[in-house]
Amino acid sequence: MSPAASPRSGAEPYDALLLVSFGGPEAPADVLPFLANVTAGRGVPPQRLREVAAHYDAFAGRSPINDQNRALLAALRGELDAHGLDVPLYWGNRNWHPYLREALARMRADGVQRAAVFVTSAYSSYSGCRQYREDLAAARAGAGNGGPQLDKLRHYYDHPGFVQANAEAVLAALDQLPGGRQEPARLVYVTHSIPVAMDESSGPRGGAYTAQHRAAAAAISGRVDAVTGREHDWDLVFCSRSGPPHVPWLEPDVNDHLDALSAAGIPAAVLVPVGFVSDHLEVGYDLDTEAAATAAHLGLPCTRAATAGTHPAFVSLIRELLLERAAAERGEHVERPAAGPLGPWPDACPAGCCPNPRGWRPAVAGQD
């Protein structure tokens, strides 16, 4: 049965779901070409590329991200099947195989007419949203006439499923500390640093990247506090800076922040990789390697919470967003749950949202 003819039991008008991710190298020979794809046009010094390439040595030259996407696809297939949703799944990456253009070519060949798109990036910024939308538009154009219409599902940083998955991970990480949940640990929410100018232009009015992370952190912390009966102080910090030294990026760096916490007498910390949905290289190297070494050097008890990964609440979130958007496209009233004060993100990004700093390019799933 072709995807366009498959029974979808509530997913209409969509006849497929496309998982879109960043991508990562799967062999040592892939590393530098992959990094060249990621940093094209950004003026990143060659020395910095070589430094980052060396981070892959501890992972045998292979990023975990593609395997994690395969696991997410398998979990999502089970979730959809369990709810009678015979929706074909496709997968495409921005920066490595399987590329978006390859996924769109398969979808066109399979007769897919309209697909919902789930992106493994939960927040607004040029690199975290608009660039994905631009690459989707380019891949669709490359598929030629008959390429599927693509509707990106809304941001989910404050969706209850994302909050639940992260809160349960924080509770598990607290249990690993000396004294367990009784320890007055500081929750250190970590995300990928971006240029300050990119944060200032994120969203329709600026500042959305940091505002959304803070909203997610507050919602997760609220759930943790409700379970433990203890209020935990928290901070938002950053990792993985890669730009030219003269360009301001968001700070503080996670390692500098751990140093400051130790100096202030904070007894313990939990690193919460709230900016990432799976344990890929930034988590495995920047947190599990570098930040863990910093904490050990300082004598600061520190654990790291798991990412959402394939947590059942996160997998269910994807199904729920698919059905929510499908119902909206059919003109039905739908609930749009959001755990924080910012409210649910619109289905289509507002005009002028997260502009490309190098000039306008066509993008799907936006009001412009």
Quick one: which of 143, 261, 141, 125 has its CA closest to 191?
Answer: 125
Tell me the C-alpha distance between 16 and 59, whole Å. Answer: 33
Q: What is the pLDDT of residue 182?
A: 77
CA 307 and chain centroid, separation: 10
Helix (H) or strand (E) holding 321: helix 312-329
Q: Which CATH class is domain 3-155+310-329?
A: alpha beta
Collapse the DSSP code of 151 into the 3-class scheme (helix H, G, I; strand E, B; otherwise coil) and give the result.
strand
- Asked whether the CA dihedral 190, 193, 199, 204 is positive or negative, the reply is negative
Three-state SS across 268-284?
CEEEECCCCCCCCHHHH
- Of 3.40.50.300, 3.40.50.1400, 3.30.450.40, 3.40.50.1100, the CATH number of 160-304 is 3.40.50.1400
Q: What is the pLDDT of residue 1?
A: 38
Q: Where are the domains of the chain?
A: 3-155+310-329, 160-304
pLDDT at position 177 is 95
Structure tokens, 175: 């249990």
- Give the whole-number percent of the chain exceeding pLDDT 90: 86
Are 305 and 311 a contacting pair, CB within 8 Å? no
The dihedrals phi and psi of 54, each to the nearest 5 degrees, come to: -65, -25
> What are the phi and psi torsion angles at 172 (to 5°)?
-65, -40
- The C-alpha atoms of residue 186 and residue 197 are separated, in whole angstroms, by 29
**Angle, in degrees to the nearest 10, between helices 312-329 and 160-175:** 170
Amino acid identity, position 242: S
Q: Strands, DSSP E only, in the chain? A: 17-21, 89-93, 114-119, 149-152, 186-192, 234-239, 269-272, 302-304
Residue 98 tokens, joined: 């399987």
Three-class SS string for 86-141?
CCCEEEEECCCCCEHHHHHHHHHHCCCCEEEEEECCCCCCHHHHHHHHHHHHHHHH
Q: Give which of 123, 283, 120, 307 is closest to 199, Cα–Cα.
A: 123
Any idea which residue has 């929750």 for tokens?
187
Altogether, the residues listed in the chain come to a count of: 368
Reported as a single tens digit per residue, the pLDDT across 237-264 is 999 998 778 999 999 999 999 999 999 9
pLDDT value of residue 2: 41
Alpha-carbon gap, residue 173 to 169, rounded angstroms: 6
- Report the distance separating Cα 81 and Cα 315, nearest Å: 12
Kindly tell me the sign of the dihedral angle through the C-alpha atoms of 62, 63, 69, 71. positive
- Chain segment 283-332, per-residue pLDDT in tens: 999 999 999 999 999 999 999 999 999 999 999 999 999 999 999 999 99
* Residue 149, strand partner residues: 114
Give the Cα separation of 162 and 274 in Å (integer): 9
**DSSP one-letter code for 153:** P
> Distance between CA atoms of 291 and 275, rounded to whole angstroms?
16
Res 9: pLDDT: 65
- Walk along the chain (368 residues) and give the pLDDT tens digit of each residue: 344 434 456 999 999 999 999 999 999 999 999 998 988 877 777 888 888 899 899 899 999 999 999 999 999 999 999 999 999 999 999 999 999 999 999 999 999 999 999 999 999 999 999 999 999 999 999 988 878 999 999 999 999 999 999 999 999 999 999 988 777 899 999 999 999 999 999 999 999 999 999 999 999 999 999 999 999 999 999 999 987 789 999 999 999 999 999 999 999 999 999 999 999 998 999 999 999 999 999 999 999 999 999 999 999 999 999 999 999 999 999 999 999 899 999 999 999 999 999 999 999 999 98
Do residues 114 and 151 lie in contact, with contact meaning Cβ atoms separated by under 8 Å? yes
Domain 3-155+310-329 shares a fold with domain 160-304: yes
pTM score of the predicted model: 0.94
* Helical axes 131-142 vs 100-109, angle rounded to 10°: 40
3-class state of residue 231 by DSSP = coil
Query: Which pLDDT score is estimated for 287?
Result: 98
